[in-house]
Structures are given as structure tokens and as C-alpha cells.
Structure 1
Amino acid sequence: MKLRDRVAVITGAGSGIGRSTAHLFAEQGAKVVIADLKLEAAQETCEMIRKSGGECFPVQVNVSKADEVQRMYEETLRQFGKLDIVYNNAGVPLSPHNIEDITEEIFDHIFNVNVKGVIWGCKYAVPIFKMQKSGGVIINTASISASRPRAGQNVYAASKSAVVTLTKSLAMELADYQIRVVAINPVAVNTPMLKGFIGERDEQEAKKMYISSIPLGRLAEPKDIANAALYLASDDASLVTGSILDVDGGRGI
């Protein structure tokens, strides 16, 4: 029970990495806020956790909207009375695009969710951590594409590079308050979101292409990322801040 009695907010927890992490955190004793753009998906995750004896509540949030993120934390404090862990996991994919095909709409969508969403997730959590005077943990989902992008990922890779740099900057800024800030770089993860990266390509052929570039020979599973998040959120990582953990089967080598 590495997270006994701790309160964790996880965005994008209605499916994929977020859902798997919410389950694992709850199993490890955390009270979990299941945040997602789709309220029904958040409710489904929460119901699964409650059936397993965990404690949680769902909240609908568009992480690119500062006022909605602020409301998410206000509701967290009303429900659970404190905040210990934030996992800024919500993100959106980009199917292969040549740079000349990137529109302002595509750019804004990717950066609003993948970058602003993380910034707001940090901005409104930090005052709570400082007020509590008991430290805190912020985990951000970046991507191995931040350090080793594939062709056609341009704007997506740039958004995840921003998350990496933000993570390192905030780790320095917040160290005096014992607030740890870390990130995870997943390789392609076997979730519904993967189809958003594949786009119009043949799904099985695209997966084979991804796998062929991963030395350990498989896609990541949501549980792989959840396990990494658990380590980073727990006291096992009490001296870890500013680190970017590659969970990529060797893809970044």
C-alpha cells in the first residue's frame, strides 16, 4: 500500500494509461480523482474502482481551460480535504502530417491540450501543495518522441518536448518546497489513442512498424506506464525530481 491515504488527481483517467494508473493507485491505497473530458468514461473508471473497494470520484474537465482545472482542484479539496499527487496525463495524438499540412487549428489543438493542459495542471496544484507545507508530487506524461521523434510527428513531438523542459524547470523552481516534478516518456502504447497516431494507415502494418523500432519487441501496455507512475509517486522515489523516465522498450537508445 505505497500510497495509503494519499489523494491523487489523474487527468485523462477515463481510458488507457490514465484508467490503468487510477486502478493501480487505488489498489495501493490512494483516494483518486478520475478526471476526463468525457464524464461518462470517468464514471466508468470510478465504478470499476469502487467495485474493487477503492475510493474515488469522477470529474469532467477540459484541461486546456484554466477555470475548469481550477474547479477540478477545488472539488478535490471539497471531497478529500487535501492533495498529494497530480498526474497530468491527458493528451491528444497527431496522425502523420507533413509540416506543410499543419494548420493553425491542428497546432492549437495539440498545444492547448498537451502543453497548456500540463501548465494549468501544475499552476493550480502548486499553491495547494505550498499551503499544505507537506511537499507533493507532479507527474507529467511526455513521450519518447520528445527525444526521438518519428517522421510526421513534428508538432506533437514539439509539444512533448515542451512538457519535458517544463518538468525540469519546475523541478528546480519547486525543490525548496519539497515538491517533486517528474515525467514519463512512453513509447507507443496499446490503447485506443494509438489509432489517432496511426491515422489512415493499415492498423496492423503500422503496429508492426512501431514494434520493429522497439528493441524489446513490443508496444507498451497501459500497466507499464502505470507501474512507472506508481514508483514516481511513491516514497520509493523520494530523491527523484526533474527526471524523465523512458518507458520505451529501448526505443530512445
Structure 2
Amino acid sequence: MNIRFDGQTVIVTGAAHGFGRAISLAFAERGANVWACDVNRDGLALTEQQAREQGTALNVRVVDVTDREQIQAFVQEASGGERVDVLVNNAGGVLGQVGRPLEEISEEDWHAIFGVNVDGAFYFAQAVAPLMKARHSGRIVNISSGAGLGVSLTGIQAYASAKAAQIGLTRQLAHELGPFGITVNNVAPGFVRSNPTTERQWESYGEAGQRKLVEGIALKKLGTPEDIASAVLFFASEYAGWITGQVLSVDGGK
């Protein structure tokens, strides 16, 4: 498969590191006009630098995915009011939270994780849908987690719940937007050492826990951010034109 996105406008959220950075660079390398956003300005600058080093370019903007007005303004700028071909809702995570007993979780902590993992995906889909409908074409790819299909390795209740909610949103939007030629799919990564949070999580397991985690993977190795990006590229490509409402686990085999 020779997957290219020449002339296409692609939006990637959460692009300051990890999956979002790898996804942004992969689309840019294949000819897309990439608009990458995050709240982490320094991380975005590094993503932009890496794009230049590979001989491509990115448009980067600081955007809070929980702020609907910021999202609307960003999508308007990126699209020129005309087109967004691909939306990748990658922004998410645990926001520095750690696993704690249920009764210790504050209302603010619960809603914060839902805000970045679910609300952001919903707001961005709302913003691009009219543009995609007008062109009768579009791809939306949400990045969830194995935690949304099972349980969270960190024990963070809100994270597992939010990722499961995002998968539900994917399936619902697939049916709503399908008549307009828009596909909506989901990539559920397994554990990947991709950012400072996952590095801390990896170190917390210790040597024995790390060995146990890897041994629980069919392929007996951890994946990379590029593995996740490859799945996104497929869903966004012409080869996935008759695939929608699906969740693809990219986890080395469980």
C-alpha cells in the first residue's frame, strides 16, 4: 500500500509528544497539510522542529481541547472555512493523576479526565462535521486505550471510564455520519512508552513488573508511537473506505 495524503487537510490533537507527534509527522511525511495542536507549547515546538528535520512542515497552535470556542476558531483557521479531510482526536491522558481508592477521587479530578478525553473529541467532531458533510467525505479517528476495552493498568477509574465512553462515541458517530460519507473509527493502543507519564508508569513497575508486562504480550515486546501512527494512517486512507465504527487494538496481542 502506498498511502498518501497530498492536498488533504489533517488535524491532530495532543501533538506535543508521543502518539500525537508520531501521527503528525507521519501525515506530514505523506504530503498532508497538517494542523497540530496541544496545550504544551514547548512540546509543540519540538514536534515542529522534528518535522523540519524530516524535510516537511507543520502548522502548530496552542489549543485547549476542553474549550469549545478555541476549537471552533482553530478548525476555522485550519480549514479556511472549506475543508478538513481527517481529524485525529488523540488528546487525552491522565493529567498527572495516579491510581487511588474510589472514595478519594474528587469531582474535579473525575471531570478533568473526562474533559480532555471525551469532551475534546466531541467538540472537535462537532466542529469538523459540517465541513465534512458539505464535501460528503471525511475521516475521524479517535485514540482510546486498552483501558477502554478492559481495565486501566494504573487503576484510574476516570481514565478507563472516559476511554470506554470515547469508544461509545465512535460507534454512535459512525452511524450518524455514515450517510454523509464520513467514517469514524478508533485505535486502542496497548502500553507504549511514549511520553513522560508512561515513562513514570514503566519505572514504577520495577524490573519484575516490567518483565511480567512484556511477557503478557503475544509478541513479547512493547510497541512504539509509530505503530499507533500506522493504524491511524490506515483508517484515514482510501483503503479503509468501507470500514467505520470499528475499534482496532494495537497492543502486540493480548
Q: TM-score, normalised by structure 2?
A: 0.91
Is the CA contact 1:96–1:199 (under 8 Å) kept in the aligned structure 2?
no
Identical residues among aligned pairs (%): 31
How far residue 32 of structure 1 moved from its aligned partner, in angstroms, is 0.5
Cα distance in 1 for residues equivalent to 2:24 and 2:57: 10
- Residue in structure 1 matched with residue 70 of structure 2 by the alignment: 68
Partner-residue secondary structure (3-state), 2:59: strand
Partner-residue secondary structure (3-state), 2:204: coil
- Listed as ranges, the matches of 1:47-58 within 5 Å are 47-58=49-60
- Listed as ranges, the matches of 1:131-210 within 5 Å are 131=134, 133-150=135-152, 152-195=155-198, 198=201, 201-202=204-205, 204-210=207-213
Aligned with 1:117 (options 113, 117, 120): 120
Task: State the one-letter code of the partner of 1:25.
Answer: F
Cα distance in 1 for residues equivalent to 2:152 and 2:104: 16
Aligned with 2:230 (options 221, 227, 232): 227
Distance 1:83 1:193, change over 3 A: same
Distance 1:134 1:240, change over 3 A: same
Could you report, residue by residue, the CA deviation over 1:50-83 in whole angstroms, capped at 9, with x for unpaired residues?
33232321010110111111111012023x9521
Distance 1:232 1:33, change over 3 A: same
- Residue in structure 2 matched with residue 38 of structure 1 by the alignment: 40
Q: 5+ residue gaps in structure 2?
A: none
How far residue 193 of structure 1 moved from its aligned partner, in angstroms, is 4.4
Which stretch of structure 1 is more off in the superposition, 201-210 or 63-72? 201-210
How far residue 185 of structure 1 moved from its aligned partner, in angstroms, is 0.5
Is the CA contact 2:171–2:246 (under 8 Å) kept in the aligned structure 1?
yes
Task: State the one-letter code of the partner of 1:12.
Answer: G
- Residue in structure 2 matched with residue 86 of structure 1 by the alignment: 87
Task: Give the CA RMSD over aligned residues.
Answer: 2.0
Cα distance in 1 for residues equivalent to 2:54 and 2:137: 29
Cα distance in 2 for residues equivalent to 1:215 and 1:34: 33
Q: How many pairs align? A: 249
Distance 1:108 1:204, change over 3 A: farther
Could you report, residue by residue, the CA deviation over 1:122-161 in whole angstroms, capped at 9, with x for unpaired residues?
1111011123x24100000111111221462322111000
Distance 1:199 1:155, change over 3 A: farther
Is the CA contact 1:118–1:140 (under 8 Å) kept in the aligned structure 2?
yes
Cα distance in 2 for residues equivalent to 1:47 and 1:126: 31
| 4+ runs deviating over 6 angstroms | none
